[in-house]
Chain A
Amino acid sequence: MRVFQLQRWSAIALLFFLTIHMIVVHYPPFHINFDNILVRLENPVWKVIDILFLLSVLVHALTGAYQVITDVDRAFDYRKGLAWAAAVIGVVAFVYGAATIWAFQLPV
């Protein structure tokens, strides 16, 4: 398993998810507020899609950042540490993001 592969595959996944995301969330006249989003996220399929989107964007972003940093000669020698740091950040951000998506629920 290679950072490179992760980045390419996540890029392909992003192509799909990001297009959807841009259209349904950011494209006017959609107005972003809690209720509007809730309408969509009530559907568990959308929840799954958003979680996968979150996952791929995090993988892509963090591998990307990792590549940018390890491209520098001096950082290259610390790449193990950097990879772990990226993984930790990724997990935290994923949990945080997943909690966010989870939060869009009708009050019980």
Chain B
Amino acid sequence: MSNDNTQRTVTVSIQRFDPDVDKKPHMQDYQVEMTKGMTILDALHEIKTHQDGSVTYRRSCRHGICGSCAMLINGRNTLACKTPLIDEVGHKNRVTLGPLPYLPIIKDMVVDRTTFWEQYLRVKPWLIPPDDIPEKEFRMSKEEVNALHDAESCIMCGACYSSCTVIGLNKHYVGPHALLKAFMRVMDPRDEAPGQRLADLDGADGVYRCHTVFNCIDACPKGLNPTQAIETLRKLAQKRKKFETTRRKRQQHLHEPIPAK
């Protein structure tokens, strides 16, 4: 644990870029009085409200649940609101901030996430339920719920997407965030069309474009594992038919209690 008590002035070096005015991005330094427990987001707030109102970034929840504030901090993607300043400044008393890489910059730390959301939409993130809807809830076992744990905790912050080397090269690739979502739907016993979903992802811009770079795992501020989801989807894609049949069988019991073990 870092010593939180050291109050000192630190340098926050921010990549600035407003395409309306600037030809290319440049770095600008700000001095911030570090207080106890200050996060990177607090430091940005201090700069924006007291020093330079034009420093621009997204934020909302302040505690790592809304996914707005993902940015590049000292060369790593993470959430500004969940990163203590003191952990990043080191003995140089300096932290470098920039926008998520590989995405067009709108202004300073704000990036254009159009492709990110398009890819999310492409995997049809909604559940496709069976025709036969019970009066009460579908029955799901604890194990089935646990399998969706990771995918369901994803806050769509894009840290994974914009750390992925393949995304850097090729925007056709659907991306780890969307594949994690797809995984969630494919694995959900209530989903009617896992076969179709797998078929849709079975192309050159789907699960096979991932080169197992693992950056997505390293970047994810929620500690999720998109790579594992992708590997699972790859394997399932090869036995779609069988998987579809298993699902059909499982769906016949969706209205019934899970048998006791």
CA distance A2 to B208 in the complex (A): 8
- A73 lies within 8 A of B169 (CB): yes
**Closest residue of chain B to A66, judged by CB?**
B204
- B234 lies within 8 A of A4 (CB): yes
Residues in A whose Cβ lies below 8 Å from that of B170:
70-73, 76
**Which of A2, A3, A5, A76 is within 8 Å of B172, CB to CB?**
A76
Q: How far is the CB of A6 from chain B (nearest CB, A)?
A: 11
Q: List 26 A-B contacts (CB under 8 A).
A: A2-B202, A2-B208, A3-B204, A3-B208, A4-B208, A4-B234, A5-B238, A67-B211, A70-B170, A70-B204, A71-B166, A71-B169, A71-B170, A71-B209, A71-B211, A72-B169, A72-B170, A73-B169, A73-B170, A73-B171, A73-B172, A76-B170, A76-B172, A76-B204, A76-B205, A79-B204
Residues in B whose Cβ lies below 8 Å from that of A72:
169-170
- Give the residue among B166, B170, B211, B234 with the most A Cβ atoms within 10 A: B170
A residues neighboring B (CB under 8 Å): 2-5, 67, 70-73, 76, 79
**Closest residue of chain A to B205, judged by CB?**
A76
CA distance A79 to B209 in the complex (A): 13
Residues in A whose Cβ lies below 8 Å from that of B211:
67, 71
**Closest residue of chain B to A79, judged by CB?**
B204
Residues in B whose Cβ lies below 8 Å from that of A70:
170, 204
CA distance A81 to B209 in the complex (A): 18
Q: How far is the CB of B101 from chain A (nearest CB, A)?
A: 15
**Closest residue of chain A to B202, judged by CB?**
A2
CA distance A32 to B172 in the complex (A): 46
The 10 closest A-B pairs by CB, nearest first: A4-B208, A73-B170, A71-B169, A76-B172, A71-B170, A76-B170, A73-B171, A72-B169, A2-B208, A79-B204
Residues in A whose Cβ lies below 8 Å from that of B234:
4
**Closest residue of chain B to A71, judged by CB?**
B169
CA distance A53 to B169 in the complex (A): 32
Residues in A whose Cβ lies below 8 Å from that of B166:
71
CA distance A93 to B169 in the complex (A): 29
Residues in A whose Cβ lies below 8 Å from that of B208:
2-4
Residues in A whose Cβ lies below 8 Å from that of B209:
71
- Give the residue among A71, A72, A73 with the most B Cβ atoms within 10 A: A71
Given A2-B202, A70-B170, A76-B170, 11 other A-B contacts at CB below 8 A?
A4-B208, A5-B238, A67-B211, A70-B204, A71-B166, A71-B169, A71-B170, A71-B209, A71-B211, A73-B170, A76-B172
Q: How far is the CB of B201 from chain A (nearest CB, A)?
A: 11
**Closest residue of chain A to B165, judged by CB?**
A71
Q: How far is the CB of A7 from chain B (nearest CB, A)?
A: 9
CA distance A76 to B167 in the complex (A): 13
Residues in B whose Cβ lies below 8 Å from that of A3:
204, 208
CA distance A71 to B165 in the complex (A): 10
**Closest residue of chain A to B208, judged by CB?**
A4
Residues in B whose Cβ lies below 8 Å from that of A73:
169-172
Residues in A whose Cβ lies below 8 Å from that of B171:
73
